A and B are shown apart, each in its own frame.
Chain A
Amino acid sequence: MIETEDLRKTYGNGELATEVLKGISFRVDAGEYVAIMGASGSGKSTLMNILGCLDKPTAGRYQMDETDVLALDDDALSHLRNREVGFVFQQFHLLPRTSALQNVLLPLIYMDDYPDDAQERAKRALDSVGLSHRLRYRPNELSGGEQQRVAIARALITNPSVILADEPTGNLDSQNGTEILAVFKRLNDEGRTIVMVTHDRAVAESADRIIVLEDGRIAEDRRTENPMPVERAAREDQP
């Protein structure tokens, strides 16, 4: 469960101060699949960074499960990201010249107690995104969709309470984009909580719930009653 209350974020100060988030309050329960949608400049990236515990709001409250996130120091935030948040980025951010397996293992390196079954967990994570046959492949030997699936496996390995995906299909062609959305759908069906940020309505429609940001405020928060088939959503992603 994550819950925000009146989140505000202001950049700069004095006359140059720009308020990017103007009071964001919402709640995502465990097992939900939520898309946060908005045009560029709507504040969705800022919100994403705050939700991912990478940045702090100027004011407001942010709770993740029982934790008051804003009360934590830098080290505690790092541990929280390590344990509770799984990131998926638009640019994949895989380590070059490093095998898929090693990339997936990366978050475990920063745990205080490295699990004995790390290799097994990494293999299981890669298996769950359908890449058990690509363990030794390096990023440059994989397609874009495969690279993003490695990144998803990396997000899964610490068994986080929420997966945060930032424009996960933004760098992919329609077929690969479809693949990735299908993976998210399946992970959500298995009980994963997913928050996805996108500017694209068609991609957003693949989620169960859409929060639309406009000018730093929530303009719309609705359920997608009849979610579009994933294939169609991805096709409309392309111009």
Chain B
Amino acid sequence: MKMFRLVKEGTRALGARKLRTFFMMLGTIVGITALTVIMAIGAGTEREVMNRVKGFGFRAIIVSAGGGRGPLGPRATTTTLREEDVEAVRDRVSGIEAMSPTAMKVGVSIKRGAAQTNALVFAIEPDWHEAWEWFTSEGAPIEAEDMASLARVCVLGTSVSRELFGEASPIGEYVQIGNVRFLVKGVLESRGTSPVGSDFDNRALVPLTTGLRRLFNQDYLSQIRILVEDPDQLEPIGEQVRKLLRECHHITPPEEDDFRVRTAADVARMVRGVSGTMSTLLTTLAGLSLIVGGIVLMNILLISVNERTAEIGLRRAIGATRRDIFTQFLAESIAITSLGMLIGAGLGFGASTLVGSMTTMKVVISWTPFALGLGFSLMVGLFFGIQPARKAARLSPVQALR
């Protein structure tokens, strides 16, 4: 096919002048590299968001004690979130499926004989299992009777269980949490590690009543998890809860909340925050280098057309039409950007892997940047190749051969 022969003629010149070819490709290489990295980080962030949101729950609202907007969890010293708040929400907000008030302490000592470990201890209501969709894999969960009788029973996470009992079943055995003896009545399903690396299974659950009065000796909560019936009502219900709690806590403007209401959307926003800035930066770089690279490409091609005037004249003399010359030079331009794209995609994959292993940012490598990069480089090659190709095609053979 004639087109194929013309493309081959167009690319023949590239190998001969390697340095010049490299400079013509440079912009595309940098642009596509940046593009590939952006997309890898973007995809990584979205996956992270999905994981975190899934962990958080699509239907969940979490009310934590303590105000402020910091990323840290509830401050143990905040005493304003109370069981009365739970009752108020239960009575006055509709559309709620389950509520789970929790008091929590970190680094509580759990002992069995000589064996000892530190874990998160949660004081919970039976609804906790439902609200977190997290159930026991062995034995029984925390039940209503346990709450009523302030029973000294507990459910262990698998890590705590392994730490204290090895592979043996802990059911029916006793452990000492803080200074209190508890009967182990169940073991939680294993959830592995969180995306930030903490061990979900290093925890113990006790009934809320027992926890508040016998273990922590307090009358305030750390957080309340609310599960709504309709995920679409998440934000309005969250806002209702916030207003109600401000009312209960007698907070008036301009005072700030002494609690925090978070939904899955807030979590997603938080995760996207850092990589969003990074993406904007890299997108700008990618766009700029593709355009600047295109202009450099165009100028070098224009110079090349001047230098190759005699060659163009010869080709016209032996039978090339204007269209043939145009096609040939456009093919050269597109070949350069396509080649630059391949190199850029390769470098981009490498850089993404590096970013993934050397920073906390998550990356996902897929074929999408490859397809997008191909599209972009073809566009740049076409757009910036037209002018030089047109100039070459318009040369008069008589003038060119002189």
Which residues of A pack against B, CB within 8 Å?
49, 52, 54-55, 74-75, 78-79, 81-83, 87, 89, 91, 93, 95-98, 106-107, 109-112, 114, 154, 158
Contact = CB atoms under 8 A, between A and B. Distances in A.
Contacts of B316: 54, 78, 81
In the A-B complex, list the 4 residue pairs whose CB atoms are closest, starting with the nearest: A82-B319, A110-B319, A93-B314, A78-B321
Contact of A49 (B5, B12, B324, B398): B398
Given A109-B9, A112-B2, A114-B5, A55 B319 contact: no
Interface of B: prevailing SS? helix
B320 interface: yes
Nearest to B12: A98
Nearest to B6: A109
B321 A111 contact: no
Contacts of A95: 311, 314
A81 B12 CA distance: 24
15 contacts: A49-B398, A52-B317, A54-B397, A78-B324, A81-B316, A82-B318, A87-B318, A93-B314, A93-B401, A109-B6, A110-B2, A110-B319, A112-B2, A114-B2, A158-B319
B315 A106 contact: yes
Nearest to A80: B319
B313 to A, nearest CB: 8
Nearest to B320: A110
Contacts, number: 67
A110 B318 contact: yes
A111 B322 CA distance: 14
B16 interface: yes
A78 B12 CA distance: 22
B300 interface: no
B399 to A, nearest CB: 10
Contacts of A110: 2, 315, 318-321, 324
Nearest to B311: A95
B310 interface: yes
B322 A107 contact: no
A97 to B, nearest CB: 5
Contacts of B310: 91, 93
